[in-house]
Structure 1
Amino acid sequence: MSTQEPDYDHLLRANLERVFNERDDDRRTLAIEELFIADPVMYEPDGIVTGREAISAVAGKLLAQFGPTFRFTPAGRGVGHHGLAVLRWEAGPDGGPIAVTGSDAARIVDGRIAQLWVLLNAPVG
C-alpha cells in the first residue's frame, strides 16, 4: 500500500461526474474501471451493491429515473486522510430546485475506491 495520500477531492469529484452523472454506459464503465478497485462495495440506504457492473447499473438507473437534466454537484471540497475520504454533494435538475443532498464517504485503497457509503440527508422542510 502506498504511503502517499491520494487526491481525495479529485477522486470523489471524478466519481460524481464520471460515474453518477455519466449517461453513456460505456464511458461510465471505463470510469469505474479507473476509479474503483476490482471488487468494490457500495453501501446505499436501501442495500449493499457489490461489483463494478452493479455500481454502474445503479448509477444508470438513478439517472434514468430522475430525468435527462438531473445531476450531482459537489458541495465543497472532498477531504480525507489515511484512506478515508468524504465529499458533500447536492442533486437535482439543471436550473431547478435541489432535490436531495448528502455525502459520499469512501475507503480508498492504492488510490482507488474500495468501499463507498452513500449518505442521504433528511429532507428539508
Structure 2
Amino acid sequence: MPDTDYDALLHANLNRVFGERDASKRDAAIAELYVAEPVMYEPDKVIEGRAAISKVAGALLEQFGPAFAFTPEGKAVGHHGLATLRWHAGPAGGPVAVTGADVAQIEDGRIARLWVLLNPTG
C-alpha cells in the first residue's frame, strides 16, 4: 500500500468539502476523499454517511454566509492511519470566529472517521 499524503488529504477535505458551496462539487469530493460509509464526530452529534456529511458542510456554510471560510494552520501530520490538521474559521479578512482541529482515521488513503475538535472560546 502506498504511503498516504496526509497533508494533501486533510487540506483537500477542508477546502473541497467544508469550503465548497456547490453541492455537486462537494459530493464529488466526498466520494473521492471518504470511504463508502464514513462517520464524522462533532462535539454534539455523530454524522454517518457521505450524504449526511455533505449536508452538514453545506448547512454550515449557508449558516455563516458567503464570506465564511476555513483556513488551515500549517501542514497536516500523521502516520499509521491517523492524521490531524489545525484550522481556524471566520469571515474572509475578518475576525476568527472559531479554531479547532480535524483528526482523521485513514483507511486505504481515504477518510473513514473524522473527529472535529473545537477549541474553547473566550
> Unaligned regions of 5+ residues in structure 1, if any?
none
| Cα drift, residue 36 of structure 1 | 0.1
The separation in 1 between residues aligned to 2:64 and 2:37, in whole angstroms, is: 27
Task: In structure 1, give the amino acid aligned to 2:114.
Answer: L
Task: In structure 1, give the amino acid aligned to 2:6.
Answer: Y
Q: How many correspondences in the alignment?
A: 122
The separation in 2 between residues aligned to 1:65 and 1:38, in whole angstroms, is: 27
Which runs of 4 or more aligned residues in structure 1 lie more than 2 Å from their structure 2 counterparts after TM superposition? none
Task: In structure 2, give the amino acid aligned to 1:65.
Answer: Q
Aligned partner of 2:91 in structure 1 is: 93
Aligned partner of 2:68 in structure 1 is: 70
Identity of aligned residues (%): 66
Tell me the TM-score normalized by structure 1: 0.96
Aligned partner of 2:116 in structure 1 is: 118
Task: In structure 2, give the amino acid aligned to 1:117.
Answer: W
Task: In structure 2, give the amino acid aligned to 1:104.
Answer: D
- Report if the CA contact (8 A) 1:102-1:120 is conserved: yes
* Correspondence list, 1:1-125, <5 A: 2=1, 4-123=2-121, 125=122
The separation in 1 between residues aligned to 2:23 and 2:77, in whole angstroms, is: 28
Q: Deviations over 1:2-52 (max 9, x none)?
A: 2x3200000000000000000000000000000000000000001000000
Q: Secondary structure at the match of 2:62?
A: helix
> Unaligned regions of 5+ residues in structure 2, if any?
none
